[in-house]
């Protein structure tokens, strides 16, 4: 057994008397139900039953005595296993003791370091009137209208309304068909091939051109691909932004004046800033706690966390409409690169669990119900149905653990001294 790991090996021995009693008990059970030619059920001699069903009886004895022995030893040594014990080196004969080795991983023992007198430094997160103005401009952009242009050809800054048919070169991708696409001619987000071929066109024209998508194109389904496009220019339009006035405020909200709209945006931005500050604070607290604790980690928990991180990456791709099986990604390498961060996650969870226990932080049933209600509202399920599904999937306890962890982080954040870095420094 190596102290620097969470792997434990127990050499255990069950006394011969206990083994003999178990053999006798199980043999009698077999004798009551065994069917042996020449004997009525339950009437065959136990000695014959023991001989005829020796392997089955041996198996039952092991299944009966070994788990009990391991559980008793683990309890006596105050260990908390995190993996199912693997049993080997079994030495078993009917006339002697039963010996075996059990190997498993346990939660580490460690001394909880200072967590009540933490001090962290957060970045300066300023919110200025320039931020309010940018938010207003974004609202103007969303409320913009696109007006057809008559009497001139398309130029940079215009929007071409297109019907597009794209045929992949080499057949390595799916064809593209789109009835109404707005292409912003000459803008940074538009590939030059589109701008070059649409500049100077007018409504009713047809254009044919090739587009080579760069390898780092944001849409993984198009990245590195080559398409031949047939484009019908249905209209040339220009974007018109509404004026910033009270009428604009009334058109996009229930507010009456532009100043009221500015005030709401200011409040929203301040709330978002405070939220970012709190998230950064929690991250810094976790980093500090992980850095000041040094103890071995159960590798089974690290492996589980690596799997969870990989699963989140796959779900993120799927949410973007990308088939994870179709992308050119070495998922084995991606998973392997997660080990360091997964280990930090596991260490943080173990530390936060100990802090929660030390401070008596727990999650009540009412808090669980509130979380289920919030999740149900977002997913469109009933709260009762969602709780039943979480229970069936075995994820309800995981949700409770997450709530407890978040509650502990909130407690730490409220009890940590926070300094703000000078503007422009980290």
Of 3.40.50.1100, 3.30.930.10, 3.10.50.40, 3.30.420.40, the CATH number of 145-240 is 3.10.50.40
Render pLDDT for 68-81 as a digit per residue (tens, 0 to 9): 999 999 999 999 99
User: Cα separation of 233 and 187, whole Å?
Assistant: 18
Q: How many CB atoms lie within 10 A of CB 34?
A: 19
Q: Is the pLDDT of residue 400 over 70?
A: yes
Q: Is the pLDDT of residue 8 over 90?
A: yes
Radius of gyration for the chain, computed over Cα atoms and rounded to the nearest angstrom: 34
**Helical (H) or strand (E) element with 75:** helix 54-76
Supply the pLDDT for residue 424.
40
Higher pLDDT, 264 or 391: 264
Number of H helices, E strands in the chain: 13, 10
Three-state DSSP class for residue 155: coil
82 within 8 A of 298, measured Cβ to Cβ: yes
List % helix, strand, coil for the chain (3-state, nearest 5). Answer: 50, 20, 35
Using the Cα atoms of residue 56, residue 62, residue 67 and residue 69 in order, give the sign of their dihedral. Answer: positive
Q: How many CB atoms lie within 10 A of CB 274?
A: 12
Supply the pLDDT for residue 256.
95
User: Cα separation of 82 and 84, whole Å?
Assistant: 7
User: Cα separation of 333 and 183, whole Å?
Assistant: 38
Supply the pLDDT for residue 120.
92
Q: Where are the domains of the chain?
A: 7-105, 145-240, 279-420
Three-state DSSP class for residue 400: helix
Render pLDDT for 273-328 as a digit per residue (tens, 0 to 9): 999 999 999 999 999 999 999 999 999 999 999 999 998 888 888 877 777 776 77
Q: Is the pLDDT of residue 423 over 50?
A: no
pLDDT more than 90, % of the chain? 66
Average pLDDT over residues 318-343: 83
CATH architecture of the domain with range 7-105: 2-Layer Sandwich (3.30)
Higher pLDDT, 35 or 307: 307
Average pLDDT over residues 256-269: 96
> Can you spell out the DSSP letters for 323-370?
-TTTS---HHHHHHTTHHHHHHHHHHHHHHHHHHHHHT----HHHHHH
Q: How many CB atoms lie within 10 A of CB 261?
A: 22
User: Cα separation of 330 and 252, whole Å?
Assistant: 46
44 within 8 A of 31, measured Cβ to Cβ: yes
pLDDT more than 70, % of the chain? 94
Point out the least confidently predicted range of 14-23, 237-246, 326-335, 417-426.
417-426
Q: Is the pLDDT of residue 94 over 50?
A: yes
Q: How many CB atoms lie within 10 A of CB 144?
A: 13
Supply the pLDDT for residue 360.
95
Average pLDDT over residues 20-49: 74
Average pLDDT over residues 197-222: 92
User: Cα separation of 260 and 185, whole Å?
Assistant: 36
Label residue 1 by pLDDT band (50, 70, 90).
very low
Structure-token pair, residue 95: 């006339």
Higher pLDDT, 425 or 66: 66
Render pLDDT for 163-182 as a digit per residue (tens, 0 to 9): 999 999 986 678 999 999 99
Render pLDDT for 118-152 as a digit per residue (tens, 0 to 9): 999 998 888 899 999 999 999 999 999 999 998 89
Length of the chain: 426
Supply the pLDDT for residue 379.
85
Supply the pLDDT for residue 38.
67
Of 1.10.3120.10, 3.20.20.140, 3.40.50.970, 2.130.10.10, the CATH number of 279-420 is 1.10.3120.10
Closest to 409 in 3D by CA, of 282, 281, 253, 245:
282
Supply the pLDDT for residue 42.
62
User: Cα separation of 87 and 103, whole Å?
Assistant: 7
The chain-wide mean pLDDT, for the chain, equals 89
Partners of residue 120 on adjacent β-strands: 418
Phi, psi of 32 (to 5 degrees): -70, -25
């Amino acid at each position: 057994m190596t102290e620097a790991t969470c792997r434990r090996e127990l050499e255990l021995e069950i006394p011969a008397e206990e083994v003999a009693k178990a053999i006798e008990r199980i043999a009698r059970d077999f004798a009551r139900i065994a069917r042996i030619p020449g004997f009525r059920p339950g009437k065959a001699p136990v000695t014959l039953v023991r001989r005829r069903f020796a392997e089955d009886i041996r198996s039952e004895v092991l299944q009966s005595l070994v788990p009990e022995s391991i559980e008793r030893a683990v309890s006596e040594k105050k260990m908390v296993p995190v993996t199912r014990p693997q049993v080997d080196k079994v030495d078993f004969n009917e006339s002697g003791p039963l010996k075996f080795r059990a190997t498993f991983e346990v939660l580490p023992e460690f001394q909880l370091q200072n967590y009540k007198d933490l001090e962290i430094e957060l970045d300066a997160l300023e919110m200025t009137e320039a931020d309010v103005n940018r938010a207003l401009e974004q609202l103007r952009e969303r409320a913009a209208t696109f007006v057809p242009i008559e009497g001139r050809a398309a130029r940079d800054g215009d929007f071409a309304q297109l019907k597009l048919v794209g045929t992949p070169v080499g057949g390595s991708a799916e064809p593209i068909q789109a009835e109404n696409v707005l292409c912003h001619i000459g803008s940074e987000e538009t590939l030059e091939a589109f701008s070059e071929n649409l500049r100077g066109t007018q409504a009713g024209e047809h254009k044919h051109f090739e587009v080579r998508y760069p390898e780092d194109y944001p849409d993984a389904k198009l990245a590195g691909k080559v398409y031949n496009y047939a484009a019908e220019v249905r209209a040339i339009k220009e974007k018109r932004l509404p004026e910033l006035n009270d009428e604009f405020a009334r058109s996009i909200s229930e507010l009456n004046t532009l100043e009221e709209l500015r005030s709401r945006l200011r409040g929203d931005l301040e709330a978002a800033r405070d939220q970012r500050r709190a998230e950064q604070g929690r991250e810094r607290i976790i980093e500090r706690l992980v850095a000041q604790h040094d103890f071995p980690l159960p590798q089974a928990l690290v492996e589980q966390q690596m799997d969870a991180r990989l699963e989140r990456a796959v779900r993120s791709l799927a949410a973007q409409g990308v088939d994870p099986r179709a992308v050119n990604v070495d998922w084995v390498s991606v998973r392997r690169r997660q080990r360091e961060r997964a280990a930090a996650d596991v260490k943080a969870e173990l530390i936060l669990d100990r802090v929660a226990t030390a401070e008596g932080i727990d999650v009540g049933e009412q808090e669980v119900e509130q979380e289920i209600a919030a999740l149900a509202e977002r997913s469109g399920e009933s709260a009762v149905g969602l709780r039943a599904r979480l229970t069936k999937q075995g994820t309800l306890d995981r949700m409770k653990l997450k709530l407890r962890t978040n509650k502990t982080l909130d407690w730490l954040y409220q009890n940590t001294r926070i300094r703000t870095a000078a503007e422009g420094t980290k």
